[in-house]
């Protein structure tokens, strides 16, 4: 726990589980299903610890898909039995965990699968905003702090976020691109409670307040801030 990256994922795990519970508290769900949603939060990033051990980074593009690794550890290696002795929901749990970081969910999901996938994805995205504010950016992105204040916003990243879309991570090239990609998570949120939590916590506003010495980036950040605030307010009407 003295390792900053380990502590980051330890705290993130518990907060995502808590956020899953907060979201399900506003939905018509049985206590058993709420427990399942909470468990997806607890298990979704179990592969992060192995990723760090093997590759010394959390950057998937430099190592391994952490969601797939989490699912493989749990369901191929059988570690899921350390957490639940009932196999009846294994398929649902695996789907939610394996898909929690995909750009777009597959259209083949059942209504129940979609609900659990989106609860976990919302909770994860909300807490990633917190991580960006409470953990040094150098530890999250493995980039120098100066890069976040001087870099340019890539054309496709800016186009995605101004179109109120999740930013395609393949477009991210610069330090500020990666931050904006996380800000854009807001456009993928599904539940009203998720938007309420984002506004209540204020982490998005902290991220948006980053100062840039790059004039073009500074001007674009003003427009991004306006777009995000307008979108959240619209969802909360």
CB 153 within 8 A of CB 177: yes
- Last-in-domain residue among 142, 160, 184: 142
pLDDT score of 27: 98
Distance CA(24)–CA(193), nearest Å, equals 9
Co-location of 59 and 84 in the same domain = yes
- Last-in-domain residue among 120, 142, 164: 142
Distance CA(42)–CA(126), nearest Å, equals 15
Could you give phi then psi for residue 212, rounded to 5 degrees? Answer: -125, 135
Co-location of 108 and 73 in the same domain = yes
pLDDT score of 168: 94
pLDDT score of 139: 87
CB 156 within 8 A of CB 171: yes
Q: Give per-10-residue mean pLDDT for the chain (237 aa).
A: 93 98 98 98 98 93 96 98 96 98 96 98 97 92 95 98 94 97 97 98 97 98 97 96
Co-location of 188 and 154 in the same domain = yes
Give the range of the structural domain holding residue 120, as residue numbers without chain letter: 1-142
Q: What is the pTM of this model?
A: 0.95
Co-location of 105 and 171 in the same domain = no
Q: Which two tokens stand for residue 209?
A: 């307040």
Distance, C-alpha 112 to centroid of its chain: 21
């Amino acid at each position: 726990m003295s390792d900053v990256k380990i502590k980051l994922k330890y705290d993130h795990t518990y907060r995502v589980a808590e956020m899953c519970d907060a979201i399900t508290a506003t939905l018509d769900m049985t206590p058993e299903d709420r427990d399942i949603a909470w468990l997806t939060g607890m298990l979704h990033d179990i592969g992060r610890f192995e990723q760090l051990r093997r590759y010394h980074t959390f950057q998937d593009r430099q190592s391994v898909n952490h969601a797939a690794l989490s699912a493989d550890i749990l369901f191929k290696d059988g570690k899921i039995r350390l957490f639940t002795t009932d196999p009846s929901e294994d398929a649902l749990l695996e789907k939610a965990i394996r898909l929690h970081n995909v750009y777009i969910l597959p259209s083949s999901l059942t209504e129940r699968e979609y609900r659990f996938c989106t609860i976990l994805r919302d909770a994860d995205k909300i807490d990633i905003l917190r991580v960006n504010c409470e953990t040094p950016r150098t530890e999250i992105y493995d980039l120098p702090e100066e890069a976040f204040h001087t870099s340019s916003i890539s054309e496709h990243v800016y186009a995605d976020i101004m179109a109120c879309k999740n930013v395609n991570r393949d477009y991210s090239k610069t330090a500020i691109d990666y931050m904006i990609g996380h800000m854009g998570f807001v456009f993928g949120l599904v539940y009203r409670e998720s938007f309420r939590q984002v506004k209540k916590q204020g982490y998005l506003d902290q991220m948006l307040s980053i100062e840039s010495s790059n004039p073009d980036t500074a001007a674009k950040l003003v427009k991004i801030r306006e777009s995000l605030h307008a979108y959240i307010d619209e969802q909360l009407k």
